[in-house]
A and B are shown apart, each in its own frame.
Chain A
Amino acid sequence: MSDHAYIELKNICKSFGSVVANRDVCLSVNKGEIHALLGENGSGKSTLVNMLAGIYSPDGGEIFIDGKPVYFSSPRDAIEQGIGMVHQHFKLVDVMTAKENIAAGSKTGFFVRGKTLSGEIAAIGQRYGLVVNPDKKVYNMSVGEKQTVEILKMLYRGARILILDEPTAVLTPQEIQTLFDILRNMKNEGCAIIIITHKLNEVLEISDRVTILRKGESVSTLETAGVSPLELAEQMVGRAIKLEVERTETQKTAEPLLRVEGLEARDEENVKLLSDMSFDLYGGEILGVAGIAGSGQKELCEIVAGLCKATAGSVRFMGEEILGMTPGKIIRKGISMSFIPEDRLGMGLVAGMNIVDNVMLKNYHASPGLFMDRAAGKKLAEKIVKRFDISTPSVFHIVKKLSGGNIQKVLLGREVDMNPHLLITAYPVRGLDIGASYNIYDVLNEQKRSGVGVLFIGEDLDVLLQLCDRILVLHAGRSMGIVDPRVTSKEELGLMMLGRGREGEAYA
């Protein structure tokens, strides 16, 4: 071993306009180490690793690889230095096979020799424990498989340093274990791994050391052995916090608010997106929905909100059939949906408009006459900004210029302010930091206390188990059953999400 670290970042600075993303950030990673980067949203983690991957160039500071200073002017330079990055959103060509994706962009000859390639991929895969069928098309792959292909791609290009940006966000617990096994193998082979994550328990499980970023600065680097999750969280937020999600005990309504029976939906190619979905949702409860991304959550939400057509079944709201009603009519019945898509702004908010125009989106037609009542809209916006503590220079600020957490608060604030009977909320804390997430959970509990039925589409199984009264588990558009979170483990949920029933003999 040499005395210098394998990767050394010294006093890295980077600004975007007037926003300082990184200020004097230092990071050092050794060979054979898994190093976690922990920090709230906007703390500069992604910016930092993007500089290491050659996507951005730092305004100041130095990067050393193996003791030598390096300057990256493009990702290609970084790849040449053995740095590979797996992005949060995979960069794969859907219509190509695994091996075509792996070979794309690397310096092979003009022709790609399929057999040799398959052999090489198999050899790398064996070394690190990655299993993938090289001839499988990417669009037929699960999220876990796609990630494996991404990692293989980096290794094929000779990466000795692997950067993973929130790799576990979209994986089931079982897939996460597989990933961690791969990472441990790589570590034993002497690779250096940098992993970004929000989840404290994952940091503790996988990493050797952890560097915590706060507001663009590196706060501390700790040996993972011997730190508690609470300690990490407090370092990250910069103040004392609690880590439990509260489950308010309330009285459910006697009659179901929403009764879904035999619901089925198909896409344009007649492939079933939802099949035989049935459940009841009562007022005063939070019904969680767990499932791997793309298991029918989006379709379920959109059918209830009237945005998507069902091919069979019924959805009754307070005893009345709402299938086939227009979205406008369903809104007036008191069904409110706040769907936070992956890009946050796709549906629900108008990115280029200000807060006032956005809070008026669903009730602008309620005022009489042909003209917009922006005075009322301004009052409403001010009320929501105050109630949800949204930080913005003014209510006339363009929504897309707000931070992610504030954007979500505007959306949820508007939905809650409409006093709905039924609140559908999908991924409301997606990409939010701990503090902001807890605010959102509080809002949901408050809604539940006031008798609102909440359909909560979630990602983080820990949160689902702590927050919800019941959890509906989806797999490939089917309901795998409704479980009581008080007596269900995360592993059980994970297996159900993978399509194995609770009583299934598939798990031991």
Chain B
Amino acid sequence: MLKIVKRPEGSHRRETLMRVSAVFFALVASAVIMALLGYNPFLVYAKIVEGSLMSAYRFRETIHKTIPLVVLSLGIAVAFKMKFWNIGAEGQLYMGAFGAALVAYSLPTLPSPLLLAFMMLVGAVFGGLWALIPALLKLKFSTSETLVTLMLNYIAIKWVSYLQYGPWKDPNGIGFPKMAAFSSGAVLPKVFGIHIGWIIALVLVVVIHILLKKSKLGYEIAVLGESDTTARYAGMSVAKITVTAVLISGGLCGLAGMMQASGIERTLNDQLSGGLGFTAVITCWLARLSAPAVVLVSFLFSVLIQGGAYLQSSMKIPSAVAGVLQGIILFFVLGSEFFIQYSVVFQKKKSAGEVHDA
């Protein structure tokens, strides 16, 4: 007879150990699936590592994926801390990129540092304002931010598609639906061969960590996340805190969009993100909203994404395998939460039927 028993208060180390072992078991389970599909799992894993880390170019590509994932995850963490379920990072990224492109196309001749700073500012503001829509709707009409942020994603993506196929189509593109490249001043400079976004991302990790852990705003966000009646009772302004946190959240996602457009694509297009805004929800959650952990998790996920792409070209294995891996890891880590709190024990059978425990 199986019985579910609540565990005594576990130590922090044991919890971490359980989460790490969850990842390990996820890899084992994925290996079984791959073996069933007729692939050698060891080879697949080796190829993922090879394809993501084993050359300067591949490593750079992996970091190129890590940068937006980190910044997006940080943005999502700020909102999630408040239990504001912002799953609109994808849309906020596109609106941020749109804002940056607007500046890049309007003022191409501005001195580069000034132009880039302006692009960042406008990108962050556009992302923030896009996130503000669901926040205001929630404050005013108690709508579900989950639904509204999700739907705004598609509006943002289609808006960029519209620009790409319509008014902003490059007249010199010989009929191709693409936008003109940014002027050289609007492209992020490189440090060690990777666009400067990696430094910005690391700085933001520190800033957001301090914001959430040490600042009064972070405290207010956390209190509001636990209970808005308590926040009101303590004399906090729910509207002010919500608006501020959501502006920061969307702003970071918008900034990620600016960096994607300026640092990677050097233009605006509707393939800019490729779902990073959704992957970031997973990485943020796996990092348990902790800024330092976000770096590690985002890097590992980038390895999966980049390695998955390599699988396709080198082994003719669909890159969807990497997607399956991501899903299985998430499933196991979320599942491990149950085992962190409860343990299943075997008990001698006493009577017919199973035991339901509350």
In the complex, which residues of chain A have a beta carbon less than 8 angstroms from the beta carbon of B12?
none
Is B235 in contact with A328, judged by CB distance below 8 angstroms?
A: yes
Tell me, yes or no, whether B193 is within 8 Å of chain A by CB: no
Is B233 in contact with A307, judged by CB distance below 8 angstroms?
A: yes
Is B216 in contact with A347, judged by CB distance below 8 angstroms?
A: no
Tell me, yes or no, whether B217 is within 8 Å of chain A by CB: yes
With A71-B351, A348-B230 as known contacts, state yes or no: A361 contacts B215, CB within 8 Å: no
Given contacts A346-B227, A346-B229, 7 further A-B contacts (CB under 8 A): A18-B9, A327-B234, A329-B235, A353-B222, A361-B234, A365-B216, A372-B218
Tell me, yes or no, whether B13 is within 8 Å of chain A by CB: no
How many Å from the CB of A175 to the closest CB on chain B? Answer: 29
Tell me, yes or no, whether A362 is within 8 Å of chain B by CB: yes
Is A327 in contact with B215, judged by CB distance below 8 angstroms?
A: no
Is B216 in contact with A350, judged by CB distance below 8 angstroms?
A: no
Q: Give which listed residue, A326, A346, A357, A361, contacts B237 with CB less than 8 A.
A: A326
User: In chain A between 275 and 297, which residues have their CB closer than 8 angstroms to a CB of chain B?
Assistant: none
Is B7 in contact with A17, judged by CB distance below 8 angstroms?
A: yes
With A350-B223, A350-B226, A401-B9 as known contacts, state yes or no: A73 contacts B353, CB within 8 Å: yes
Is A372 in contact with B6, judged by CB distance below 8 angstroms?
A: no
Q: Give which listed residue, A347, A365, A370, A371, contacts B227 with CB less than 8 A.
A: A347
In the complex, which residues of chain B have a beta carbon less than 8 angstroms from the beta carbon of A331?
234-235
Question: In the complex, which residue of chain B has the Cβ closest to the Cβ of A337?
Answer: B233
In the complex, which residues of chain B have a beta carbon less than 8 angstroms from the beta carbon of A339?
233
In the complex, which residues of chain A have a beta carbon less than 8 angstroms from the beta carbon of B214?
371-372
Is B232 in contact with A307, judged by CB distance below 8 angstroms?
A: yes
Is A361 in contact with B223, judged by CB distance below 8 angstroms?
A: yes
Tell me, yes or no, whether A305 is within 8 Å of chain B by CB: yes
Is A347 in contact with B355, judged by CB distance below 8 angstroms?
A: no
Tell me, yes or no, whether A81 is within 8 Å of chain B by CB: no
Tell me, yes or no, whether A351 is within 8 Å of chain B by CB: yes
Q: Compute how far the CA of A77 lies from the CA of B351 in the bound complex, rounded to whole angstroms.
A: 11
Tell me, yes or no, whether A133 is within 8 Å of chain B by CB: no
Q: Compute how far the CA of A260 lies from the CA of B5 in the bound complex, rounded to whole angstroms.
A: 52
Q: Compute how far the CA of A343 lies from the CA of B235 in the bound complex, rounded to whole angstroms.
A: 21
Question: In the complex, which residue of chain B has the Cβ closest to the Cβ of A54?
Answer: B356
> Could you give, for residues 329-340 of chain A, a 1 whenever the CB lies within 8 Å of some chain B CB and a 0 otherwise?
111100001010
Is A371 in contact with B351, judged by CB distance below 8 angstroms?
A: no
Q: Give which listed residue, B9, B229, B350, contacts A71 with CB less than 8 A.
A: B350
Tell me, yes or no, whether A311 is within 8 Å of chain B by CB: no
Tell me, yes or no, whether A427 is within 8 Å of chain B by CB: no
Q: Which 5 A-B pairs have the closest CB atoms?
A: A328-B235, A71-B351, A18-B8, A17-B8, A73-B353
In the complex, which residues of chain B have a beta carbon less than 8 angstroms from the beta carbon of A71?
350-351
Is B357 in contact with A56, judged by CB distance below 8 angstroms?
A: yes
In the complex, which residues of chain B have a beta carbon less than 8 angstroms from the beta carbon of A337?
233
Tell me, yes or no, whether B37 is within 8 Å of chain A by CB: no
Q: Compute how far the CA of A236 lies from the CA of B352 in the bound complex, rounded to whole angstroms.
A: 38
Q: Compute how far the CA of A329 lies from the CA of B214 in the bound complex, rounded to whole angstroms.
A: 25
> Could you give, for residues 54-86 of chain A, a 1 whenever the CB lies within 8 Å of some chain B CB and a 0 otherwise?
011100000000000001011001000000000
User: In chain B between 182 and 241, which residues have their CB closer than 8 angstroms to a CB of chain A?
Assistant: 214-219, 222-223, 226-227, 229-230, 232-237
Q: Compute how far the CA of A24 lies from the CA of B232 in the bound complex, rounded to whole angstroms.
A: 46
In the complex, which residues of chain A have a beta carbon less than 8 angstroms from the beta carbon of B8?
17-18
Q: Give which listed residue, B219, B229, B232, B356, contacts A74 with CB less than 8 A.
A: B356
Is A73 in contact with B351, judged by CB distance below 8 angstroms?
A: yes
Question: In the complex, which residue of chain A has the Cβ closest to the Cβ of B211?
Answer: A370
User: In chain B between 255 and 269, which residues have their CB closer than 8 angstroms to a CB of chain A?
Assistant: none
How many Å from the CB of B348 to the closest CB on chain A? Answer: 12
In the complex, which residues of chain B have a beta carbon less than 8 angstroms from the beta carbon of A326?
235, 237
Tell me, yes or no, whether B358 is within 8 Å of chain A by CB: yes
Is B357 in contact with A370, judged by CB distance below 8 angstroms?
A: no
Q: Compute how far the CA of A361 lies from the CA of B6 in the bound complex, rounded to whole angstroms.
A: 31
Q: Give which listed residue, B216, B236, B354, contacts A371 with CB less than 8 A.
A: B216
Number of interface residues of B (CB under 8 A): 33
Question: In the complex, which residue of chain A has the Cβ closest to the Cβ of B217?
Answer: A370
Question: In the complex, which residue of chain A has the Cβ closest to the Cβ of B358?
Answer: A55
Is B219 in contact with A357, judged by CB distance below 8 angstroms?
A: yes
In the complex, which residues of chain B have a beta carbon less than 8 angstroms from the beta carbon of A349?
230
Is A17 in contact with B9, judged by CB distance below 8 angstroms?
A: yes
Is A327 in contact with B232, judged by CB distance below 8 angstroms?
A: yes
Q: Which of A55, A327, A351 has the largest number of chain B CB atoms within 10 A?
A: A327
Tell me, yes or no, whether A111 is within 8 Å of chain B by CB: no
Q: Give which listed residue, B6, B218, B226, B232, contacts A16 with CB less than 8 A.
A: B6
Q: Compute how far the CA of A349 lies from the CA of B234 in the bound complex, rounded to whole angstroms.
A: 9
Is A17 in contact with B233, judged by CB distance below 8 angstroms?
A: no
Q: Compute how far the CA of A349 lies from the CA of B227 in the bound complex, rounded to whole angstroms.
A: 9
How many Å from the CB of B230 to the closest CB on chain A? Answer: 6
Is A370 in contact with B356, judged by CB distance below 8 angstroms?
A: no
Is B230 in contact with A350, judged by CB distance below 8 angstroms?
A: yes
Question: In the complex, which residue of chain B has the Cβ closest to the Cβ of A329?
Answer: B235
Tell me, yes or no, whether A364 is within 8 Å of chain B by CB: yes
How many Å from the CB of A328 to the closest CB on chain B? Answer: 3
- Subset of 24 A-B contacts with CB under 8 Å: A17-B5, A57-B3, A57-B357, A71-B351, A73-B352, A73-B354, A73-B355, A305-B233, A326-B237, A327-B234, A327-B235, A328-B235, A328-B236, A331-B235, A346-B230, A347-B227, A348-B233, A350-B222, A352-B226, A353-B222, A357-B222, A361-B223, A362-B234, A372-B216
In the complex, which residues of chain A have a beta carbon less than 8 angstroms from the beta carbon of B356?
73-74
Q: Compute how far the CA of A352 lies from the CA of B227 in the bound complex, rounded to whole angstroms.
A: 10
Q: Compute how far the CA of A389 lies from the CA of B39 in the bound complex, rounded to whole angstroms.
A: 64
Q: Compute how far the CA of A71 lies from the CA of B86 in the bound complex, rounded to whole angstroms.
A: 48
Q: Give which listed residue, B3, B5, B216, B232, contacts A364 with CB less than 8 A.
A: B216
Question: In the complex, which residue of chain A has the Cβ closest to the Cβ of B235?
Answer: A328
How many Å from the CB of A36 to the closest CB on chain B? Answer: 25
Question: In the complex, which residue of chain B has the Cβ closest to the Cβ of A338?
Answer: B233
User: In chain A between 298 and 321, which residues have their CB closer than 8 angstroms to a CB of chain B?
Assistant: 305, 307
Q: Which of B218, B226, B232, B352 has the largest number of chain A CB atoms within 10 A?
A: B232
How many Å from the CB of A338 to the closest CB on chain B? Answer: 10
Is B353 in contact with A372, judged by CB distance below 8 angstroms?
A: no
Is B229 in contact with A347, judged by CB distance below 8 angstroms?
A: yes
In the complex, which residues of chain A have a beta carbon less than 8 angstroms from the beta carbon of B354?
73
How many Å from the CB of A32 to the closest CB on chain B? Answer: 29
Is B353 in contact with A351, judged by CB distance below 8 angstroms?
A: no
Q: Compute how far the CA of A337 lies from the CA of B234 in the bound complex, rounded to whole angstroms.
A: 10
Q: Compute how far the CA of A364 lies from the CA of B214 in the bound complex, rounded to whole angstroms.
A: 12
Q: Which of A71, A329, A339 has the largest number of chain B CB atoms within 10 A?
A: A71
Is B219 in contact with A364, judged by CB distance below 8 angstroms?
A: yes
Question: In the complex, which residue of chain B has the Cβ closest to the Cβ of A357?
Answer: B219
In the complex, which residues of chain B have a beta carbon less than 8 angstroms from the beta carbon of A18?
8-9
Q: Compute how far the CA of A361 lies from the CA of B7 in the bound complex, rounded to whole angstroms.
A: 30
In the complex, which residues of chain B have a beta carbon less than 8 angstroms from the beta carbon of A327?
232-235
Q: Compute how far the CA of A326 lies from the CA of B231 in the bound complex, rounded to whole angstroms.
A: 12
Is A74 in contact with B353, judged by CB distance below 8 angstroms?
A: yes
> Could you give, for residues 126-138 of chain B, a 1 whenever the CB lies within 8 Å of some chain A CB and a 0 otherwise?
0000000000000
Is B358 in contact with A56, judged by CB distance below 8 angstroms?
A: yes
Q: Compute how far the CA of A337 lies from the CA of B219 in the bound complex, rounded to whole angstroms.
A: 21
User: In chain A between 128 and 147, which residues have their CB closer than 8 angstroms to a CB of chain B?
Assistant: none
Q: Compute how far the CA of A431 lies from the CA of B217 in the bound complex, rounded to whole angstroms.
A: 34
In the complex, which residues of chain B have a beta carbon less than 8 angstroms from the beta carbon of A16?
6
Q: Which of A17, A331, A365 has the largest number of chain B CB atoms within 10 A?
A: A17
Q: Compute how far the CA of A352 lies from the CA of B222 in the bound complex, rounded to whole angstroms.
A: 10
Q: Compute how far the CA of A16 lies from the CA of B237 in the bound complex, rounded to whole angstroms.
A: 39
> Could you give, for residues 5-46 of chain B, a 1 whenever the CB lies within 8 Å of some chain A CB and a 0 otherwise?
111110000000000000000000000000000000000000
Q: Compute how far the CA of A329 lies from the CA of B227 in the bound complex, rounded to whole angstroms.
A: 20
Is A372 in contact with B215, judged by CB distance below 8 angstroms?
A: yes
Is B230 in contact with A347, judged by CB distance below 8 angstroms?
A: yes
Question: In the complex, which residue of chain B has the Cβ closest to the Cβ of A360?
Answer: B219
Question: In the complex, which residue of chain B has the Cβ closest to the Cβ of A55?
Answer: B358
User: In chain B between 58 and 110, which residues have their CB closer than 8 angstroms to a CB of chain A?
Assistant: none
In the complex, which residues of chain B have a beta carbon less than 8 angstroms from the beta carbon of A362?
234-235
How many Å from the CB of A128 to the closest CB on chain B? Answer: 30
